[in-house]
Amino acid sequence: MAGPNSLYGPLDPAPDAGYVDAPPRMGFFTDTSVCIGCKACEVACKEWNGVPDDGFNLLGMSYDNTGGLSANSWRAVAFIEQPMPREAAVTAAMTQQGTGTEPGAAPAPRPEPQFLGMPTTELPGRREGHDEPTDFRWLMMSNVCKHCTHAACLDVCPTGALLRTEFGTVVVQEDICNGCGYCISACPYGVIDQRKGDGRAWKCTLCYDRIGDGLMPACAQACPTQSIQYGELDELRLRAADRVATLHERGETSARLYGHDPDDGVGGDGAFFLLLDEPEVYGLPPDPVVTTRDLPAMWKRAGLAALAMGAATVVAFLGRS
């Protein structure tokens, strides 16, 4: 079933994987502009999928004590506190400690503590004296497996444990996976991960066991603000474009889509996002490319090296001594 775009380029993955009369491709649109950081998605995911705990750690990363996606966190809410929005949005995400990766760089200035106000039962902005925007913003994003059109994890899996479903999603078969770990280093988003003590690789299944029965994935079902929207990918993309236009109209010019474009490096994500800052601020790669795009070139170079090795051996035996 391999076509010219099987490794790279726009593609409808389920038919390419061999499904005849595949249902429409399903996915997530995660609109971070309405995420309130409640983590209901994380909890619902764990509950439904029986995902073990990921440790009870205080990470010092705002309200994020999950620390990103892992074998035991298939939804993970990122929290970014930006004390100087607009002008220096990026610096807040640079962390208050500095990343430790740029020796010459001064750490970002530590902001003064700000009182965010007590929680109330009123809608924001309804009370007197709270209409002025503060010079602080709090970004939240529920991260998840992207279910890429060109899924490197799936491409490199040597056992066939990873498979493309009829919905165009990517799922690990836990009875097949032998824990070789190849998918983990292949994923350009750092999503799939090996579970310690278990040895196998685990990630979001887009609730394969629910969507086949017409149910919503657990996280989308639990999301109280419709930040996580589930549906047919084509429709979600239209909805997302509308949403960005609306936000731009309202002056939120930082709104942009991420992973929606079928012409991007992974052929578009099955789970894409509306972000309010650069992707790397949320821990996402700014321009991911599926590693297998270069696989034909890699085999060519390896073939050349192999030929050189064979030739060198022949030459080595030409001498008399």
Partner 1 sequence: MSPRRRDDGLMVPPVEFGSYYGRAVVKAPAWHHDIAAYLFTGGLAAGSALLAAGADLTGRPALRRAGRSTALGALLASTYFLVNDLGRPARFHHMLRVAKPSSPMSMGTWILSGFGAGAGVAAAAEAAPLLPQHGVLGLARRALPPLGTVGGLAAAATAPALATYTAVLLADTATPSWHEAYPDLPFVFAGSAMAAAGGAGMLLAPTAEAGPARRLALAGAAVDLAAARRVEHGMGLVSEPYRQGRAGAYLRGARSLTIAGAAGALLGGRSRVLSALSGLALMGASVLTRFGVFEAGIESAKDPRYTVVPQRERLGQRDGRTALEP
Interface mask toward partner 1 for 47-66; x: CB under 8 A: ------------x-x--x--
Tell whether residue 298 is a contact of partner 1 (CB under 8 A).
Answer: yes
Query: Which positions from 216 through 255 interact with partner 1, judged by CB under 8 A?
Result: 253
Q: Which is nearer to partner 1, 67 or 262 (CB)?
A: 67
Q: How remote is the C-alpha of 220 from its chain's centroid? A: 15
Residue 204 in contact with partner 1, rule: CB under 8 A: no
Among 176, 238, 241, 245, binds partner 1 (CB under 8 A): 176
**From 177, 211, 255, 276, residue interacting with partner 1 (rule: CB under 8 A):** 177
Tell me if 262 contacts partner 1 by CB under 8 A: no
Q: Residue 294 class from Cβ within 10 Å (0-12 exposed, 13-18 middle, 19+ buried)?
A: middle
Whole-number Å distance between alpha carbons of 209 and 206:
9
Tell me how far apart the alpha carbons of residues 90 and 84 are, in angstroms, rounded to a whole number. 9
Give me the least distance between CB of 233 and partner 1, in Å please: 23
Which of positions 9-28 make contact with partner 1 (CB under 8 A)?
none
* Footprint on residues 136-175 left by partner 1 (CB under 8 A): 152, 155-161
- Interatomic CA distance for residues 148 and 146, integer angstroms: 5
- Structural tokens at position 100: 């430790």
Distances, alpha carbon 263 to alpha carbons 9, 10, 148, 183, 236, in Å: 6, 6, 12, 23, 17
Which one among 11, 45, 145, 186 touches partner 1, defined by CB under 8 A?
186
Question: Which residue lies nearer to partner 1 by CB, 85 or 217?
Answer: 85
Question: Closest separation between CB of residue 180 and partner 1, Å?
Answer: 6
18-26, 99-107, 123-131, 225-233 -> range binding partner 1 (CB under 8 A): 99-107
Does position 189 bind partner 1 by CB under 8 A? yes
CA separation for the pair 33, 282 (Å, rounded)? 13
Min dist. Cβ of residue 284 to partner 1 (A): 7
Q: Which is nearer to partner 1, 177 or 220 (CB)?
A: 177
Which DSSP helix (H) or strand (E) runs through 143?
Answer: strand 137-144
Helix residue ranges per DSSP H, 102-227: 152-156, 182-186, 208-211, 218-222
Binding of residue 185 to partner 1 (CB under 8 A): yes
Report how many residues bind partner 1 under the rule CB under 8 A: 94
Residue 120 Cβ vs partner 1, minimum distance, rounded to whole Å: 30
Least distance to partner 1, CB of residue 218, Å: 24
Token look-up 């700014």 returns: 286
Q: How many CB atoms lie within 10 A of CB 159?
A: 12
Reading the block at residue 309, the tokens are 């090795």
Q: Which of 221, 206, 214, 217 is nearest to 164 (CA)?
A: 206
